[in-house]
């Protein structure tokens, strides 16, 4: 028996209208450049196939691995698909060739495989340059020779260039400017570039080249450090909901939950909610997280358990068994939950989307 999904109460409600709104907003924010919708990790827990089918206007999609891209092709997704991690074998290169997937080239292994292939069938490729992220990518000193090498292939399609921003989410960190300077110094402006990620789209206009990539912002979470003071028109795509299992009256001095970390400061009514870390809800808290019941925010008290959380509903008129609870969505916002849990919204969305049953609205 499944320990998650349809057998449990928590639901991840995916608003496809909000998704489309965010795509259009981000494309405009990127100066009208071509916008790649990132679908890796099952679209950050939102369902890659459902998200792709809901975005027929998307200029392209991006995934992490060839298998993710192939799954999209099998259901009829026809747009350009970037494989951000590249291919890991000659067999995967052949899949890219047969299904017109754009591999990102970031290692000598990729160049060797391309050279050994007999017919690349006009395969489009992206050359990744490491301008300071320190993960994947060729050294800037090699880029000129690599581009020349690839241009000699008769059966290769378009060659595009890209890099990855390391600190664009911090609006006060100008390392992004350093990375852009590294790009400009290459003197390869005649090529199509893809530089901006979500943070670059929203906060760094100098990263807006021909292509941009929208990941976390596409799903309604603002990645920038000034999000609480800025007024960006992003709409949450995922809302996590569950139900009340019980409402219990506790006396002043009663202790709640594992390790007795919460003691009632007065007589209180505590609701038990059918959600826990088995459903992807974050366990760790450094601050008081909240949920919404009947339009009002209520504090979580005590530790998050595998299947349950406990919530102070003393200020509500009446809460009954089966009543709906919003764990995050418009309010509370997933970014606020991430802040008080010392994680990032990416992690919460991926975890909840992988465990709670998903429902789609349009």
In the block, residue with structure tokens 């009256």: 249
- Same domain for 76 and 172? yes
Of 156, 184, 219, the one marking the end of a domain is 219
DSSP letters of 171-229? TT-THHHHHHHHHHTT--TTS-EEEE-HHHHHH-GGG-SSEEEESGGGGT---STTTTT
φ/ψ (deg, to 5) at 310: -115, 135
pLDDT of residue 34: 97
Q: Given the DSSP bridges, would you call strands 238-250 and 255-256 parallel, antiparallel or unpaired?
A: unpaired
Same domain, 181 and 258: no
Q: Which of 219, 248, 266 is the C-terminal boundary of a domain? A: 219
210 and 289 in a single domain? The answer is: no
- Does residue 347 belong to any structural domain of this protein? yes
CATH number for the domain spanning 173: value is 3.20.20.10
Task: Assess whether 319 and 191 both reside in one domain.
Answer: no
Give the number of domains in the chain. 2
Distance CA 313, CA 316 (A): 6
The answer to the question of residue 1 being in a domain is no
Q: Please say which residue of 219, 252, 270 terminates a domain.
A: 219
44 in catalytic set: no
- Whether 286 and 174 share a structural domain: no
Q: Is residue 5 part of a domain?
A: no
Residue 179 in contact with residue 131, Cβ under 8 Å? yes
How does DSSP classify residue 59?
A: S
Same domain, 177 and 271: no
Catalytic residue among 23, 27, 40, 209: 40
CA atoms of 344 and 335, how far apart (whole Å): 7
Query: 10 Å Cβ neighbour count for 307?
Result: 18
Is the CB of residue 169 less than 8 Å from the CB of residue 201? no
Give the number of other Cβ atoms within 10 Å of residue 306's Cβ: 10
Q: Are residues 87 and 204 in the same domain?
A: yes
20 and 96: one domain?
Answer: yes
Task: Tell me the CATH number at 327.
Answer: 2.40.37.10
- Is the same domain home to 184 and 278? no
- Is 63 in the same domain as 151? yes
- Output the CA torsion 42→46→48→52 (10° steps): -160
10-residue mean pLDDT series, the chain (362 residues): 76 98 98 96 98 98 98 98 98 98 98 96 98 97 97 96 97 95 96 97 95 98 92 96 97 96 96 96 87 96 95 94 97 94 96 96 96
Q: 360 an active-site residue? A: no
pTM of the model: 0.95
53 and 185 co-located in one domain: yes
In a domain, 224, yes or no: no
Opening angle at CA 27, ends 23 and 28, nearest 5? 120
Residue 225 lies in a domain: no
Contact 87, 98 (CB under 8 A): no
For residue 293, give its domain range: 238-361
Helix (H) or strand (E) run with residue 334 in it: helix 334-341
Is 157 in the same domain as 264? no
**Residue 259 counted as domain residue:** yes
With vertex at residue 266, the alpha carbon angle to CA 264 and CA 268, rounded to the nearest 5 degrees, is 75
């Amino acid at each position: 028996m499944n320990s998650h999904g349809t057998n449990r109460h928590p639901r991840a409600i995916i608003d496809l209208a909000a998704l489309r709104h965010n795509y259009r907003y981000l494309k405009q924010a990127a100066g009208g450049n071509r916008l790649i919708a990132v679908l890796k990790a099952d679209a950050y827990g939102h369902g890659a196939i459902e998200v792709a089918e809901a975005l027929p206007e998307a200029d392209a999609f991006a995934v992490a691995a060839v298998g993710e891209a192939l799954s999209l092709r099998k259901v009829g997704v026809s747009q350009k698909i970037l494989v951000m991690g590249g291919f890991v074998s000659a067999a995967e290169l052949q899949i890219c060739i047969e299904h017109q997937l754009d591999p990102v080239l970031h290692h000598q292994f990729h160049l060797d495989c391309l050279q050994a292939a007999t017919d690349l069938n006009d395969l489009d490729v992206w050359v990744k340059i490491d301008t300071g992220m320190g993960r994947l990518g060729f050294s800037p000193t090699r880029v000129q020779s690599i581009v020349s090498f690839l241009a000699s292939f008769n059966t290769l399609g378009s060659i595009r260039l890209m890099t990855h921003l390391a600190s664009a989410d911090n609006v006060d960190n100008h390392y992004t400017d350093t990375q852009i300077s590294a790009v400009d110094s290459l003197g390869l402006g005649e090529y199509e570039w893809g530089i901006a990620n979500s943070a670059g789209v929203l906060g760094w206009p100098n990263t807006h080249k021909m292509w941009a990539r929208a990941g976390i912002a596409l799903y309604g979470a603002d990645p920038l450090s000034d999000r609480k003071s800025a007024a960006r028109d992003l709409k949450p795509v995922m809302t996590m909901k569950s139900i009340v299992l019980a409402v219990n009256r506790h006396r002043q001095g009663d202790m709640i939950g594992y390790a007795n970390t919460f003691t009632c400061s007065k007589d209180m009514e505590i609701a038990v909610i059918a959600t826990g870390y088995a459903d992807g809800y974050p366990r760790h808290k450094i601050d008081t997280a909240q949920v919404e019941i009947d339009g009002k925010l209520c504090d979580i008290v005590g530790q998050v358990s595998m299947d349950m959380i406990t919530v102070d509903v003393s200020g509500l008129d009446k809460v009954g068994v089966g009543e709906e609870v919003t764990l995050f969505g418009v309010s509370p916002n997933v970014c606020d939950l991430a802040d008080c849990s010392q994680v990032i919204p990416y992690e919460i969305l991926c975890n909840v989307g992988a465990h709670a049953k998903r429902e789609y609205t349009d």
